[in-house]
Copies of this chain bind each other. A is one copy, B any other.
Amino acid sequence: MLEPIERQSLSQAVYERLRDGIVSGELGSGTKLPSERQLSEALGVNRGAVREALKRLEQARLVQIRQGGAARILDYQAHAGLDLLSELLFAGGELDLRVARSVVEMRAHLGPEIARRCGERGGTAAADRLDAIVAGMRADPDLDARQAASLEFWDALVDGSGNVAYRLAYNSLRASYDGFRAALVQVLGDELKSVDGFQAVADAVRAGDAEAAAARAAELLARGAQGLSTLFEALETFPGGE
């Protein structure tokens, strides 16, 4: 209600239009895109806007551009990186359950590993930060606040893991999550309410017990996975029924 009204630039619109065409298979991989001039005329926008969109598609490895020749569409499953995940999740204006399940599975696998490495390398600095966040959770039982704190918690864990790749992968996963934060507060209720679960992870990190940290993190994430799984089943039976 009180969120900022989204405005969209033309190049953004062009980007999304072409991206949706590619990931939906409408523009098959290997086919050639119309020329920039043709696109700009067909879409009724300036050539510059088209170029900006094409550059972004190239960066996402959805197309390949060569001077003097037309842009070729690539097979996104074979080339695109994890940054595309959040866009894939909702491409075409509808939630893709197959992608959503993949995200949850990756979360369930990456999370414990991050906790493990944090337990291994985080030290007391990480433990202090985690404890402070958990203390804040106890102080405020509001679910929205819990969700924010939970994100902080994972942020701290990931920092403590000392692994840049995990950090970036976490960011990519979180970008997928952010689009549905409000919708998932209830679904992840079990996970968010279990302050003891967060505390157990923090304790393991403080003890420097990497395996325990991983195990406790896995237990914590399993609570949310339960809710997500039932949500997905419901969505499968009653599509669109958000």
**Measuring CB to CB, which residues of chain A are less than 8 angstroms from any residue of chain B?**
9, 11, 48, 51-52, 55-56, 59-61, 67, 77-85, 88, 98-99, 102-103, 105-106, 109, 113, 117, 155, 163-169, 171-173, 175
Contacts and interface: CB of A to CB of B under 8 A. Distances in A.
Task: Tell me the interface secondary structure of chain A in the complex.
Answer: helix
A85 B163 contact: no
Contacts of A67: 9
A81 B171 contact: yes
Nearest to A77: B167
A168 B11 contact: no
B48 A168 contact: no
Number of copies: 2
A99 B172 contact: no
* Among A80, A98, A117, A173, residue most surrounded by chain B Cβ atoms (within 10 Å): A80
A55 B103 CA distance: 27
25 contacts: A11-B55, A51-B52, A55-B55, A55-B56, A56-B56, A56-B59, A59-B59, A59-B60, A59-B83, A61-B171, A61-B175, A78-B171, A81-B169, A81-B172, A82-B169, A82-B171, A82-B172, A83-B172, A84-B168, A85-B164, A105-B163, A106-B163, A106-B169, A109-B113, A169-B169
Contacts of A61: 171, 175
A50 to B, nearest CB: 11
Contacts of A83: 59-60, 81-83, 168, 172
A173 B51 CA distance: 28
Contacts of A81: 81-83, 168-169, 171-172, 175
